[in-house]
Chain A
Amino acid sequence: MSDGTSAYTQPVQATSDILLDINDLVVHFPAGRRGMFGPPSKVHAVDGISFRVRRGTTFGIVGESGSGKSTTAQAVMRLIPATSGQIVFGGDNIANFRGERLRLARSKFQIVFQDPFSALDPRRRAGELIREPLDLLGIGSPRQRDARVRQLLEEVGLPPQAADLFPHQFSGGQRQRLCIARAMAPEPDLIVCDEAVSALDVAIQAQILNLLKKLQCERGLTYIFISHDLGVIQHFCDDIAVMYLGKIVEQAPASVFFSAPCHPYSWSLIAAAAPPGSLRNRLKQGYLVKGDPPSPVDPPPGCRFAQRCPFVIEKCRNELPILKFTGPDHFVACHRTGDAKPPDFSAST
């Protein structure tokens, strides 16, 4: 299965060209009423986030369940309607696209989901599944489509005979390869990976991560990579946004984020994922938050993280902090930046 190619030696085709520019994206869901005559409640799934993704890079979104990572992914894919905001993809605001125009635009952005068991139609053969996007988008002649299916199978490391098998005849890792082949079929510029490796065993996870990276190096693909696993995020992403209850609380290039994170929530995530040892114990004592993330239905005013934050002050409970520039490409939404003591990652002491 694995080819262990030397694709990694190739320079990555990262550019400063902005492929995707998300501007103040808001996604609210109705959540019934409080009481029979009360005001209607809203789930603030995504509450005004903005970020830019450079062509050829990987933009990582990390956060716990309920933080709005998957809603962001689905809104960017236009799978759920955005309440407001702009989604500028390759120069066009696709948030306003409808009908045929949206359908055709979709060939340029594709998604790979977490669970490869429920993402594939069990009654169709692998070859048909990969071919489906080509048929729907009318790409190439029928003969070219067949050739493309064979080529895609090879690219994702599946044998040509796999085309005649049904999804249940594949293992989890192979099914995820099928999902990737299907996403690759219309030659998209952007692939959103929504927890694409989270359901896989570690050995298989490494295979899929290597495959995604190989494809990125070969084709200059851009990824939005959503995960709760900071180890995977660090390995895979160029830029990172940390989400908490629908807001981006910190955004930075990966190298900056893992050497000098600024938000208390980032500190907590890092403390929970730090490799075992004295450093981990020290981080956990000082920075790991207690409790569970609160519900995103009608969040209180002030900082969303205030309830769990070990560094909370009165101002945090009343006033929502905005994302502020703290360094090149580094943005933090916290009232106590520069004030609360950041963790020390040096192994000694």
Chain B
Amino acid sequence: MAPVLSVQNLSVSMKGSKGPVPVLENLSFDVAQGKTMALVGESGCGKSMTALAIMRLLPEDFTVTSGSIVLDGEDVLAAAPAQLRGLRGNKMSMIFQEPMTALNPLFTVGDQIGEVLRQHRKLSHRDATEQTINFLKAVQIPAAEKRVHAYPHQLSGGMRQRVMIAMALACRPKLLIADEPTTALDVTVQAQIFDLLSQLQDETETAIVLITHDLGAVAELADDVAVLYAGRCIEKGTSHEVIAHARHPYTRGLMACVPHLHLGPTTRNARTELEEIPGMVPPLGARGLDCAFLPRCTFAGDVCRSQPQPPLDIVDAHAAVSCWRHQEIAP
């Protein structure tokens, strides 16, 4: 079966004072129906830019320089404005990190969810409102008949994110892009939103691109994962394989530097040092041909310094990694 979304060799660059600056380089991934692909990395790694490129929402000064994005057989990059309007909200939609800024404060949530249905499904105002109430119930908002007339400021953060999800899924899109959907929410609410997303995905078979920095969320929600670093994909595979056997030093570092919760009466050594990745992501424009992670890598060898960054090396059916030394340094 053809994937719902196919991104091939996508490169994006930014207009700079000394010519174009690469932001994303040669990114490729597919997402199949009902599957979740996670994009992981620190800020500045190009996760959100990938999402915006797929939605054709790149800011001014940013352009797709090469590659293709095909959604359900339609070429997104070649789509004319009218075709694009048919795609957005209908075949692909997006939920953002901060639900307060993504909702219009001047309209009720019912108006805003209903707008999607009126635009794309040509429903009447009354039918749209009726449907909206059903959607609000589907995202587990209590007293949906009342809440449909509420303004965003009258809802809590978790409730607003549920409204965003209802709005994004209103037309049963083929693809949902979730850009850090729970980062701004409380921890107990985060867990609820993740449960809701996976439950709705089971029902609607939507393909999800999940953008996150939380490897716990990846383990729980994602089927596949791509780890981005400085605009390049440095490791890709099934989420199970990447989390159980991370190969790239960056991925390994990302997992080691998070303090994991230990439960039960284990004697915890409180004073152990967290592993850290020294330094920071190189800024845009300071990225050469060699491995972008080189300055921070504790495993860097001569081969890394003398050669450009290797392409993704396919290790097996479940994993691919871009590192000269991944076999030597395997734990």
Contact = CB atoms under 8 A, between A and B. Distances in A.
A288 B191 contact: yes
B273 A8 contact: yes
A206 B275 contact: yes
Interface in A161-209: 171-173, 201-207, 209
Given A65-B157, A203-B253, A288-B188, A258 B274 contact: no
Given A4-B273, A292-B156, A345 B191 contact: no
Contacts of A345: 263-264
Interface stretch (A124-132, A225-233, A311-319): A225-233
A119 B275 CA distance: 27
Contact of A232 (B190, B216, B259, B272): B259
A213 interface: yes
A86 to B, nearest CB: 30
B157 A275 contact: no
B146 interface: no
A84 interface: no
Contacts of B216: 275-276
A231 B258 contact: yes
A290 B192 contact: yes
A234 B262 contact: yes
Given A1-B278, A209-B274, A234-B268, A203 B257 contact: yes
A280 B278 CA distance: 31
Contacts of A238: 270
A238 B253 CA distance: 26
B163 to A, nearest CB: 13
Interface in B252-296: 253-254, 257-268, 270-280
Contact of A272 (B190, B253, B262): B190
Interface of A is mostly: helix
B219 interface: yes
B274 A235 contact: yes
Given A65-B186, A276-B216, A259 B276 contact: no
Interface string A74-97: 000000000000000000000000
A213 B268 CA distance: 16
Contacts of B265: 259-260
A258 B268 CA distance: 10
Contacts of A230: 187, 261
A293 interface: yes
Interface stretch (A22-30, A140-148, A263-271): A263-271
A204 B219 contact: no
B42 interface: yes
Nearest to A283: B263
Contact of A173 (B156, B157, B192, B280): B280
Contacts of A289: 188
Chain B, interface residues (CB within 8 Å), range = 35 or more
A254 interface: yes
A273 B259 CA distance: 11
Q: A172, A228, A270, A273 — which one has the most chain B CB atoms within 10 A of its CB?
A: A273
Nearest to A64: B186
A293 B265 CA distance: 30
Given A231-B258, A274-B261, A64 B188 contact: yes
Nearest to B271: A8
B273 to A, nearest CB: 5
A171 B260 CA distance: 25
Interface in B24-57: 42-43
Given A64-B188, A202-B258, A203-B254, A274 B276 contact: no
A304 to B, nearest CB: 15
B158 interface: yes
29 contacts: A2-B276, A4-B276, A65-B186, A171-B280, A173-B280, A201-B43, A203-B254, A203-B280, A204-B280, A206-B257, A206-B274, A209-B274, A213-B273, A234-B268, A235-B259, A238-B270, A255-B270, A258-B264, A259-B264, A270-B261, A270-B263, A272-B187, A272-B188, A272-B190, A273-B261, A274-B263, A280-B220, A289-B188, A290-B192
Interface of B: 42-43, 142, 156-159, 186-192, 195, 213, 216, 219-220, 253-254, 257-268, 270-280
Given A204-B42, A236-B259, A272-B188, 8 more contacts: A202-B258, A203-B257, A203-B277, A203-B280, A217-B271, A229-B187, A234-B262, A293-B186
Interface of A: 1-2, 4, 8, 12, 64-65, 171-173, 201-207, 209-210, 213, 217, 228-232, 234-236, 238, 254-255, 258-260, 268-276, 279-280, 284, 288-293, 345-346
Closest 6 CB pairs of A and B: A235-B259, A206-B257, A345-B264, A64-B186, A276-B219, A345-B263
